[in-house]
Amino acid sequence: MEDAGTTRELAVENDRLRHLHRLLAAELAEATGRAGTAAAVMTEETDSSRFQRDLAVGTWSDRATRLRAARNGLAFGRLDHPAGPPTYVGRTGLADADGETALVDWRAPAARPFYCATVATPEGVTRRRHLRLAGLGPQERVVALHDDILDVGAADISADTAADPALLAALTAPRSGTMRDIVSTIQGEQDAIIRLPLTGTVVVEGGPGTGKTAVALHRVAYLLYAHREQLARRGVLVVGPSAAFLRYVADVLPSLGETAVVFTTPGGLRHGIDTAALDAPEVARIKGELSILDVLRRAVAQRQELPAEPLRIELDDVTVEVDAELVHEARDAARASGLPHNAARAVFRDALGTALVRDAVLRIGDGWLDQRELTGTLGRELAGDVRRELATHRGFHAAVEELWPLCTPERLLAELLGDRDRLAALDPALVVLHRAQGDAWTVSDAPLLDELVELLGEVERPEPESRGLDDTARRVLEALDEVESDEEFALRATDVLNTATLAERHTERDLRTVAERAAADRDWTFGHVVVDEAQELSPMDWRVLVRRCPTRSMTVVGDLAQRSAAAGSRTWDVGPRAVHRTLTINYRTPAEIMDRAAQVLPEIGPGLEAPRSVRHSGELPWERTVDRADLGVELVAAVAADRPDAGTMAVIAPEPAALPDLDPDVTVLTPPESKGQEFDVVIVVDPDGIRAGCPADLYVALTRATQRLGILAVR
């Protein structure tokens, strides 16, 4: 039952919250209106004015998006200072009509004390108030509040200073199918990581439940706020372990009003391919190591062949031969160009053609042309005739195709992996990579295909769409320029226009968002990259990511104890500029469950420690063993008995396909698929089967539950 003081405080805070919602509505209406007005301005003004119009539309549209996202959970904190009015902290920044700050964005420097001020370092704050909200949009209300007294000399020393109830409520609340943002409950050690500078690589290591993923995503929101102009142009890439994980975290950044983000998995690092198929561990290990680079280079070189026997090309006046000596000379010239394979083919073709023209002229003139005539006008005319004939000769082009064929990454890699003899010729140890032609691409193939793009280049680079427009514009300007005028100093069309300007007027503008353009462009480089479950990435995966972000501005989060990939990381040595931070407090997993999961750590590696759980549930995990023949019946009964009244439930097993059908709202996963996710209740099936595949997978499975854990072993 609330006392009179609390009731009055709630009334004050609700009055303030209603005022903030009115300000939000006014700013949202203005942003929406300005975006619409800018979009409606369709004039034939200069290109600069059109650019400014499009820029204004994007700026105001982005502002409106962020304001809409802030409507729920608008203001969740208040900071009291020794002098002056309190500072309210929320999801966006708002100002009163007089320009005074009414609400501070949670990412702003002024909001930092809300997350990190303590009694020892109060940072100019006497009291921190947590506001617990209910309702949606303008109907939102403050239903509870909690004060942290940071000034021991303050008058209200009787205020409750226990652990924040908002944090405990968030930790024990039923889970939904997606991750929620944590802007109102970010802890000090998390906030310090979120606000680290943009430059360089930040490595965040932490065990299960320490909030690594939430910290990484909120760091993206912070960086987009603090460096909006820079990152809004380039966007942010987020790499997660699975499609299920990406669906789980997909709502966090939009709920914070940020959309300039591209999500992908390691199986999607090759542009145009998205796969979840896995190779056998030994195959994945070989494909993931940097030594595979030499294999790929040699595989490309194998496509630059010397003829076993001379290839005869019959011309009108002479027959020439494409022999190994001529091809070797042309191949050396092409390789010396430094161009990728497909681009170097033109160098090879021209060099080979030049050698054949030389031979043809010598054979034609043999016996009736002297050296002076061969190098003179007659010789040049003969060479021109032969060159023109070769340019359209099917035999010549067939020889070029045979000796230096155009290759796509997919074709080259499929043919390599499908040819046991070629693999053995490169290295007998590579025979393990052999597979049938037509097999689906795997996650380990993605970085190989991306590397082959670098080695091969484009098969053929289409002419830019603007080229045709440029030619048309040039012809139009030439025609206009020829129009005569009676005035001696009259302006001509070319005095005020050029081909680029005229073509630009007729080019359709790219109205896609940054995220859409980045996702469609293999050569796009991002302003920042986030890698979750980073311990699973191979050296080849990292090579692709550095290509996507040459500045190495990255946030890398993971836990070496959860590594199951054969080619995954064994250390966090990611370069001399890396900043390393460790999260040690487990907010997700109750101590009873964490104690059970920690029993697996000695099997994974020496010296590994479990994070310290912040809470106890009072309920120990249950374990029982059943016969394999009875597993289906026992699992159905266990699911029925353990179903939560609210929240989510998952069954984690080594072979989900072998399990009976369960209710659609029960998620069934393998341990790797469950990485990064959490559920209220989890039943782990056949722990010995999971352990046999990888002990780290069992550790992952045992740490997904937030409330209750059951373990169903199989005899």
* pLDDT (tens digit per residue) in 369-378: 555 555 656 6
* pLDDT (tens digit per residue) in 397-409: 999 999 999 999 9
Between CA 688 and CA 608 the distance in angstroms is 21
pLDDT at 423: 96
Contact residues for 420 (Cβ-Cβ < 8 A; gap 6+): 431, 434
Between CA 192 and CA 185 the distance in angstroms is 14
* Cβ–Cβ under 8 Å, residues 157 and 147: no
* pLDDT (tens digit per residue) in 56-108: 666 778 889 999 999 999 999 999 999 989 999 999 999 998 999 999 999 99
Give the range among 119-128, 482-491, 548-557 with minimum mean pLDDT.
Answer: 482-491
| Cα separation values, 112 from 83, 85, 90, 640, Å | 18, 17, 12, 46
pLDDT at 464: 44
Residue 471 has pLDDT above 70, yes or no: no
Angle at 388 between CA 384 and CA 392, to 5 degrees: 165
pLDDT at 144: 92
Query: Residue 661 carries which DSSP code?
Result: P
Between CA 120 and CA 122 the distance in angstroms is 6
Residue 601 has pLDDT above 90, yes or no: yes
* Cβ–Cβ under 8 Å, residues 596 and 702: yes
pLDDT at 172: 77
Query: Residue 12 carries which DSSP code?
Result: H
**Which is nearest to 238 in space by CA: 223, 671, 229, 226?**
223
Between CA 56 and CA 632 the distance in angstroms is 60
Share of the chain above pLDDT 90, in %: 69
CA 244 to chain centre: 15
Share of the chain above pLDDT 70, in %: 85
The H or E element spanning position 569 is none
pLDDT at 15: 97
Query: Residue 147 carries which DSSP code?
Result: E
Tokens at 359, concatenated: 């031979």
* pLDDT (tens digit per residue) in 275-298: 999 999 999 999 999 999 999 999
Residue 210 has pLDDT above 60, yes or no: yes
Dihedral, CA of residue 583, residue 585, residue 587 and residue 593, to nearest 10: 120
Q: What is the mean pLDDT of residues 190-195?
A: 96
Contact residues for 275 (Cβ-Cβ < 8 A; gap 6+): 267, 268, 440, 441, 442, 443, 445, 446
* pLDDT (tens digit per residue) in 249-280: 999 999 999 989 999 999 999 988 899 999 99
Sheet holding 528-531, edge to edge: 261-264, 236-239, 528-531, 554-558, 201-206, 579-583
Instruction: Kindly tell me the burial class for residue 157, based on how many C-beta atoms sit within 10 Å of its own C-beta (0-12, 13-18, 19 or more).
Output: exposed
pLDDT at 357: 87
Question: pLDDT tier at 157 (50, 70, 90 boundaries)?
Answer: very low
pTM: 0.85
Sheet holding 101-105, edge to edge: 94-95, 101-105, 87-90, 75-80, 127-134, 141-149
By DSSP bridging, strand 87-90 and strand 705-714 are unpaired
Strand partners, 510: none
Mean pLDDT of the chain: 87
**Which is nearest to 159 in space by CA: 69, 73, 80, 52?**
80
